[in-house]
Structure 1
Amino acid sequence: MVDKIWLDKYPEGVTQDLQYGDYESVLDVFDNACKKYADRPAFHNMGVTITYGELDKLSADFAAYLQNHTTLVKGDRIAVQMPNLIQYPIVVFGAMRAGLVVVNTNPLYTTREMEHQFNDAGCKALVALANFGDSVADVLPKTGIKHVIITQVADMQPTLKRVLMNFVIKHIKKMVPDFTIKGAVSFTSAMAKGGAANFKSGSEPKADDIAVLQYTGGTTGVAKGAMLTHKNLVSNMLQMDFILRTLRPGQEVAITPLPLYHIFSFTVNCLGMMSHGACNVLITNPRDIPGFVKELSSHRFTVFTGLNTLFVALMNNPDFKSIDFSSLKITIAGGMALQKAAADKWEAMTGNRIAEGFGMTETSPVVCVNPPHAIQVGTIGIPVPGTDIKIVDEDENEVPVGESGELCVRGPQVMKGYWQRDEATKETMTKDGEWLKTGDVALLQEDGFLRIVDRKKDMILVSGFNVYPNEVEDVACTHPAIVECAAVGVPDDKSGEAVKLFVVRSDDGLTKEQVIAHCKENLTGYKVPKFVDFRNDLPKTNVGKILRRELRGQ
């Protein structure tokens, strides 16, 4: 809004101007942290802690491997496919130091989803967890990937423990499938070779260079790569100082349960906490709530990032209430709507209020957040510094304060565009090309706080992850007994929303279980329909377009 009625909600000393200092790229943030906090812990996972100085050395070793033992050159894309492990920051920052563009990839993707992303991004290399090696082996022949590095869960453990843990995970717990990938190199071997080689600096990126291709779905169901530049990410990191500015340099401990390959955790935890010299406690499997709670009891943590479903699951664990929360300063929620009941219960149990924010992949991701000193549960807060917002009607005319419309954003965190999709980029911008259209219906309150009213798009939000109906429908309709179908979101206590699929079938013998099983073969778990409803027909417009809105609530 032109009048910026939220400005008086900023904490004292915060302005609209972003002070970049010496930060031109993500690597500038990295270098500064590694020098300033060399002896401080940077990441902790499964009992292992590495300092910023060690991260500097290890990432340089990985970069040296890429430079000396592969054919990769500056600007090539490398896919990184793993959960929260210490290997992740080593690989990501090592790849960036070698001049590569990181393509964050969900390790739970099916081979169909992997094939699309790897080919769309033009990936030349892949670092993947062995637990998903069979899927990697299946998809590689259909891609242009030339270099594969396979890591195992315990690769950062001391030698004897590493060997034992990886043996148990593979042979006792049967969590690693048998697979063969010709020419694949183990992470430990790559690190050893890199350590014996020389890391050559000189691949320093410019502010407008692409740092990350972050894939997101679209209304067409085709995943698109948002080109996030170094300036986009650094800007959003600095914008988040709006609420992180009270952190003590080199003293904080942040609980990081959301996967670092998700843009929220990537920017807020991997970068934001790094700029303050904080230690990120990486939670590899946040679905293991008892294990998660046990890990929490081992740390005097000061920052916690998560989403509604995770907060609820933790609070429902009987041991959660015995954790010492006396050091907790900031809790940040993103990814999905925060329910008031969950927010109130969290405050009662921890003594800390949750600051809910709003963002999207295309905005690196943070657009708005509740200032910790003035939290309003049920709102997405106020725009972060350097960000302009406006709310418009269908004709892109700005609406008055208090009226709802589509939320549009302008700021240094807005993506460069979609990778090799100029038309898609144009479609997501206003006619003048100045503002990003979020597709969310919002209103600006008289007090300057923003509230999301509804989603303009048909997107379904399952545990913070976007599910696009067209993708689910396209997969479901490959079943020979499905004539047509429509996917909608329905309320769900655990995941916020769940996918419900309305199906017109040609064979009355087709069961709900068969439909779900078919979808499971081709979709990541959170995209699979939880409910299936058979119909004789589906509501349509006069030109035959299925009316999903008439199916919602049924």
Structure 2
Amino acid sequence: MFYPLNVKDFLDRAETVYPDRVGVTDEPSQPAPSLGDVSYRALASAARQQAAWLDSLGVPVGGRVAMVSHNAGRMLTSFFGVSGWGRIFVPINFRLSAAEISYIVEHCSADVLLVDPELSGLLSSVTAKHTYVLGSSSDAEIFGGGGSPVPWAGDEAATCTLNYTSGTTARPKGVQLTHRANWLNATVFALHAGVSDRDVYLHTLPMFHANGWGMPYAMTGLGVHQVVLRKVDGAEILRRVASHGVTVMCAAPAVLNAVLDAASSWEGEIPGRDRVRVILAGAPPPTRTIERIRSDLGWEFIQIYGLTETAPILTVNRMRSEWDDLPASEQARLLGRAGAPALGVRLSVDGSGEVLAQANHNLDAYWENPSATAEAQEGNWFHTGDGGEFSDGYLSITDRKKDVIISGGENVSSIEVEDVLNSFPAVREVAVIGIPDEKWGELVTALVVTDGSDVSADEVIAFCRTKLAGYKCPKRVEFVGELPRTATGKLQKFKLREPFWEGRTRQVN
């Protein structure tokens, strides 16, 4: 017998097993009235009403419903209310410009656009056939209109979500993730993270990003109490951990740096010590950051690696018993690798050093972009665009292929240089890029945000020379006020390169 996988399975189980448990604590401080504490019974009811509402609008199975929103209970509901009855949910990065959002809405031909009240100004330039501002005035219609939705037989090969890439390198592409892909990603992720119904999950990760890495599905299916955090703030994260008994969260390194900064002035014991496990991805964190998460916060550090196109989990790196007797610094070094393949994932590194992946939760295609799809899936492997090394069962990411700096004929990993620079006491943040140079081809250049200390470029370079081979050390250091990042913490290095490569037809030298 065969029963198609449907992300509604997670909600159905929550309603069956944990109907009266508080499933979601909505963000209390937001422009739309907070939903407060929502039981899984109420969450399931709201999702059904949303599906029935889409029926009344005439949105067909396969129709696209876009949402531009911060983390919110209404967004969490929509992962089920839209996709669970066969439509395609399109969660959009709320930090994009109106022009960028308009491109996505038009590119996917969205039937419906739902907008957070804080972003309602977008409606002057971004619209769909049916456009609504989320909040009390629309809640009764969208989530409480009554009636039963038209049943959907289900098709696990059908597109469930359309997730647009963060656009760190080019025009964003729409990643088609099927019900099967999202279902398997959520299940495998929860298995490796050891999730149970005793957990309390804090939504620090934007839900729009790769569907919050699948956590809205996984946590719902396992009856986990989910606490919604609208905007990232280090001190507020610590307060939520303390007040709700949070045990697990996902985040980019920049988020944990904010927590570490807040912890330095926190009065009393750091909440969650020996209880919280934090799952990081987005960029390989410096070894020093890993050590501080484990020592200063007392939280378990877990790292994953993946992409929007892989739903996202490809690898997991979690402390293992064989490392128990090693020094903390060595444990941190080992945890700094991207990790071992997750269950069902196959990895390879091709002759050019690019990481390739096979998994049942890889993308089905890029929306209306067959050439990009064929290129990404050439040879029945997904081509990640990341450079890496795979040995002893563990993957290490050495660089984005486009971020490899070739200086004097030698390949320089920007990640390796950044890791060293992040251990320099005065460095708060750093990005290493290659800029054109007549002698070396590309010059290793460090763009540094300091902690306010009076430090010179010569001191920074001298420090690197104690840790790295000479050809890897920055030849140029520039001090900047901030580094451009996406909403998920990724450095937008293409923006940093632009002024140095302006007027050139290609960004290699």
Q: TM-score range by the shorter chain?
A: 0.7 to 0.9
Question: Given the alignment, which residue of 72, 86, 105 partners 1:85?
Answer: 72
What amino acid is the match of 2:374? K
Corresponding position of 1:124:
111
Q: Distance in 2 between matches of 1:22 and 1:38?
A: 24
1:405-484 alignment runs, 5 A limit: 405-430=353-378, 432=379, 434-445=380-391, 447-458=392-403
Please tell me whether residue 328 in structure 1 is matched to residue 275 in structure 2: yes
CA contact (8 A) 2:290 2:336 kept: no
Corresponding position of 2:18:
37
SS in 1 for 2:320: helix
SS in 1 for 2:396: strand
Please tell me whether residue 301 in structure 1 is matched to residue 250 in structure 2: no
CA contact (8 A) 1:296 1:323 kept: no
Cα deviation code 1:51-82 (max 9, x no counterpart): 111101111122222222x1211111010111
Q: Distance in 1 between matches of 2:169 and 2:253?
A: 27
Q: Distance in 2 between matches of 1:489 and 1:237?
A: 39
Cα offset, 1:530, TM superposition = 7.7
Corresponding position of 2:154:
205
Question: Given the alignment, which residue of 187, 193, 201 partners 2:138?
Answer: 187
More divergent stretch after superposition (374-383 vs 526-535): 526-535
CA contact (8 A) 1:64 1:195 kept: no
Cα offset, 1:239, TM superposition = 1.6
Corresponding position of 1:67:
55
CA contact (8 A) 1:338 1:356 kept: no
1:324-363 alignment runs, 5 A limit: 324-326=271-273, 328-363=275-310
Corresponding position of 2:202:
255
Please tell me whether residue 277 in structure 1 is matched to residue 223 in structure 2: yes
Please tell me whether residue 151 in structure 1 is matched to residue 151 in structure 2: no
CA contact (8 A) 1:264 1:365 kept: no
Cα deviation code 1:105-143 (max 9, x no counterpart): 112221210121011111010111111111222222xxx
Q: Distance in 2 between matches of 1:385 and 1:421?
A: 29
Corresponding position of 2:465:
none
What amino acid is the match of 2:139? T
Cα offset, 1:456, TM superposition = 0.7
CA contact (8 A) 1:242 1:384 kept: no
Question: Given the alignment, which residue of 307, 321, 337 partners 1:379?
Answer: 337
Cα offset, 1:384, TM superposition = 0.4
Please tell me whether residue 27 in structure 1 is matched to residue 8 in structure 2: yes
SS in 2 for 1:457: helix
Cα offset, 1:313, TM superposition = 1.0
SS in 1 for 2:71: coil
Cα offset, 1:275, TM superposition = 2.5
CA contact (8 A) 1:301 1:327 kept: no
5+ unaligned residues in a row in structure 1: which ranges? 1-19, 156-185, 395-404, 462-466, 470-487, 495-515
SS in 2 for 1:240: helix
Alignment root-mean-square deviation, CA: 3.4
SS in 2 for 1:298: helix
What amino acid is the match of 2:61? K
Cα offset, 1:529, TM superposition = 8.6
SS in 2 for 1:139: coil
Corresponding position of 1:223:
172
CA contact (8 A) 2:24 2:226 kept: yes
SS in 2 for 1:115: helix
Bigger RCO (CA 8 Å, 6+ sep) = 1
CA contact (8 A) 2:9 2:221 kept: no
CA contact (8 A) 1:30 1:275 kept: yes
Q: Distance in 1 between matches of 2:259 and 2:157?
A: 40
SS in 2 for 1:297: helix
Cα distance change of structure 1 residues 364 and 529 upon mapping to structure 2, 3 Å threshold: closer
SS in 2 for 1:113: helix
Cα deviation code 1:194-244 (max 9, x no counterpart): 534312241243110000001115687121101100001111112213423
What amino acid is the match of 1:111? A
CA contact (8 A) 2:168 2:494 kept: no
Cα distance change of structure 1 residues 105 and 337 upon mapping to structure 2, 3 Å threshold: same
What amino acid is the match of 1:339? P
Cα distance change of structure 1 residues 35 and 259 upon mapping to structure 2, 3 Å threshold: same
Q: Distance in 1 between matches of 2:304 and 2:98?
A: 33
What amino acid is the match of 2:42? E
Q: Distance in 2 between matches of 1:239 and 1:320?
A: 38
Q: Distance in 2 between matches of 1:321 and 1:113?
A: 44
Corresponding position of 2:234:
289
Question: Given the alignment, which residue of 243, 248, 263 partners 2:192?
Answer: 243
Q: Distance in 2 between matches of 1:489 and 1:121?
A: 39
Q: Distance in 2 between matches of 1:436 and 1:363?
A: 8
Cα offset, 1:393, TM superposition = 0.8
Cα deviation code 1:248-299 (max 9, x no counterpart): 3x221012111111116241x212222221112111011x333333323212
Q: Distance in 2 between matches of 1:457 and 1:530?
A: 13
Cα offset, 1:527, TM superposition = 5.7
Q: Distance in 1 between matches of 2:368 and 2:266?
A: 49
Cα distance change of structure 1 residues 491 and 204 upon mapping to structure 2, 3 Å threshold: farther
What amino acid is the match of 1:390? S
Q: Distance in 1 between matches of 2:175 and 2:51?
A: 24
CA contact (8 A) 1:347 1:354 kept: yes
More divergent stretch after superposition (329-338 vs 54-63): 329-338
Cα distance change of structure 1 residues 315 and 36 upon mapping to structure 2, 3 Å threshold: same
CA contact (8 A) 2:282 2:490 kept: no
Q: Distance in 1 between matches of 2:343 and 2:266?
A: 39
Cα offset, 1:322, TM superposition = 3.1
Corresponding position of 1:13:
none
Corresponding position of 2:101:
114
What amino acid is the match of 2:289? A
Cα distance change of structure 1 residues 272 and 456 upon mapping to structure 2, 3 Å threshold: same
Count of matched residue positions in the alignment of Structure 1 and Structure 2: 422
Corresponding position of 1:502:
none
Cα offset, 1:365, TM superposition = 0.6
Q: Distance in 1 between matches of 2:93 and 2:167?
A: 17
What amino acid is the match of 1:361? T
Q: Distance in 1 between matches of 2:19 and 2:375?
A: 45
Q: Distance in 1 between matches of 2:445 and 2:212?
A: 24
Identity of aligned residues (%): 21
Q: Distance in 2 between matches of 1:75 and 1:42?
A: 28
Question: Given the alignment, which residue of 233, 236, 240 partners 2:182?
Answer: 233
What amino acid is the match of 2:342? V
